[in-house]
A = this chain, B = another copy of it.
């Protein structure tokens, strides 16, 4: 995967949690919601259907594994999964833990308000709990 390069906005907005088989798993630096992003480590891909069939299956497997772990870690009411990419075109899949009464509930998180950064300690504790549940 040495030819993979991460979009600078994805790099800036999130922090690495782990490398899965296909995807880099990052946590958005916004403590309003437990919000993860998976980025398939393939260059030049914007749409899920542009991945090979094997990569599509891998992405599904990793996304659902992360979503189940996030549900277990947070006890959230609902997991939101989305691949939008209207602003950052490098393919990335959002996996967000939503709970009744959280910011903008039950509306979507994208484009809402201003990010509230995690403290290093909080973020590391969250990432550690998530990895235990993966």
Contacting residues, chain B, for A64 (C-beta < 8 A): 48-49, 56
> What is the minimal beta-carbon distance from A119 to any residue of chain B, in angstroms?
27
In the complex this chain forms, how many copies of it are found?
2
C-alpha spacing A92/B83, complex, angstroms:
14
Known contacts A46-B78, A47-B79, A78-B46: does B68 contact A84 (CB below 8 Å)? no
C-alpha spacing A83/B95, complex, angstroms:
10
**Nearest CB to that of A86 among chain B residues?**
B106
Cross-chain contact B82 with A82 (CB below 8 angstroms): yes
- Chain A interfacial positions (CB closer than 8 Å to B): 46-49, 56-57, 59-61, 63-65, 67-68, 71, 77-87, 89, 98, 105-108, 110-111
